Amino acid sequence: MSARQIGDTFTLVRTCDRYRPLYYAAASGDFNPIHIDPKVGEEAGLGGTILQGLCTLGWAVDAFVHYLKDPGAVRGIQVRFSRPVAIDDVVTYSGKVTAIEGGLVTAEIEATNQRGEAVLKGAEVTASIGTVTPRSSDTEPGKPPREWKGTGINPAVIGRKYGPFVYEAGLEKMREFAFAVGGGVPSTGFSGKGAPEGLHAWYHDEKAAKDSPHGAIIAMPNFCVAWAITPFAKACMDPELKLNILRLVHGEQKFEFGEVVRSGDRLTTNGAITNVESKRSLDFLEVTTETHNQHGKLVVRGVWTAIIRG
């Protein structure tokens, strides 16, 4: 990491083949019908099936990892989802290092489809150069909500908590997730072809991982979506909030990463609604989550923002 310089660039190209939303759903647990049922996608005004936004985010993380060479060094990412990725879209990620200070290297990433349209905006990723102490804090409120006018989401739900939810990381699940995000098939059975070309060895190769600084296979940083999303999902499905799930899209996402995840880690996630607001015909729901491992160390802090279209 010491050779990194401001102005360094990196690129990655990913194609959303017809099966990618299904593969990602199987690996992540995100089976929202708009991602797997073309008819539902059309009824929702999306023109058909679209890729999960968190897979689009995962590709951005992977682009940064290709540059870093050490996936365990990633410390954070924040993005706004500006346009859905449709079947057969080709997404190009173009990153540039913008700062190196305080033990961190920061890069900005542009992600555009084959028509030159941005699918992510405001994408920023960070990684540690040396030893960085992960941030650990209790879930804190977000921005104060606007005065409630009797429409949209009642701000009285701010502070509502969800959890704890416990997830035990498994080696094969970690591999399957990496294969799905890396462009392969999340299976080692008849349909599986093994690790996709270019996938970092520390995600799947036990020998290579054993010789790494982490001593074992580690999960992709964005593997956290498989379990840290639970409080956010529970809030979106909370009957008292009365959200129309078919009108709900993932608007923004922020992750702060701490400890890497290894097979056998027992991960406990808590979350709370930290902000709600309305702008024109859109409602916004923000949920903040924190996950700690069995040693009490912070693994990831996430800020999840849903947009519900009126």
Cα gap 299→197, rounded to integer Å: 28
Percent of the chain with pLDDT over 70: 91
Tokens read off for 270: 């808590």
Domain range annotation of the chain: 1-132, 134-169+219-310
**Domain 1-132 maps to which CATH number in 3.10.129.10, 3.40.50.720, 3.30.460.80, 3.90.230.10?**
3.10.129.10
The identity of residue 143, as a single letter, is K
Identical fold between 1-132 and 134-169+219-310: yes
Task: Transcribe 77-134 into DSSP letters.
Answer: EEEEE-SPPBTT-EEEEEEEEEEEETTEEEEEEEEE-TTS-EEEEEEEEEEESS--PP
Look at residue 151 in the predicted model and tell me its pLDDT. Answer: 53
Look at residue 135 in the predicted model and tell me its pLDDT. Answer: 42
Q: Where are the alpha helices (DSSP H) in the chain?
A: 20-28, 33-36, 38-43, 53-68, 171-181, 206-210, 230-236
Tell me which residue of 245, 246, 184 sits closest to 26, measured CA to CA. 184
Is residue 60 helix, strand or coil? helix
Sheet with strand 90-101: strands edge to edge: 9-15, 90-101, 104-112, 118-128, 74-81, 248-257, 298-309, 282-292, 266-279, 161-168
Cα gap 199→176, rounded to integer Å: 12
Query: pLDDT for 199-255, tens place per residue?
Result: 999 999 999 999 999 999 999 999 999 999 999 999 999 999 989 887 888 899 999
Q: How far apart, in Å, are the Cα atoms of 86 and each of 50, 64, 175?
A: 5, 23, 25
Percent of the chain with pLDDT over 90: 75
User: Contact at 8 Å (CB) between 171 and 209?
Assistant: no
DSSP one-letter code for 218: B
User: Contact at 8 Å (CB) between 297 and 254?
Assistant: no
Query: pLDDT for 147-204, tens place per residue?
Result: 444 457 888 999 999 999 999 999 999 999 999 999 998 876 656 678 888 999 999 9
Tokens read off for 58: 């995962």
- Dihedral sign, Cα of residue 113, residue 117, residue 121, residue 125: positive
Sequence-distant (6+) residues with CB within 8 A of 247 are 44, 308, 309, 310
Please state which architecture CATH assigns to domain 134-169+219-310: Roll (3.10)
Of 272 and 154, the one with more pLDDT: 272
DSSP one-letter code for 253: E
Is residue 270 helix, strand or coil? strand
Query: pLDDT for 213-226, tens place per residue?
Result: 999 999 999 999 99
Reported as a pLDDT band with limits 50, 70 and 90, residue 146 is very low
**Measured in whole angstroms, how far is the alpha carbon of residue 117 from the centre of its chain?**
21
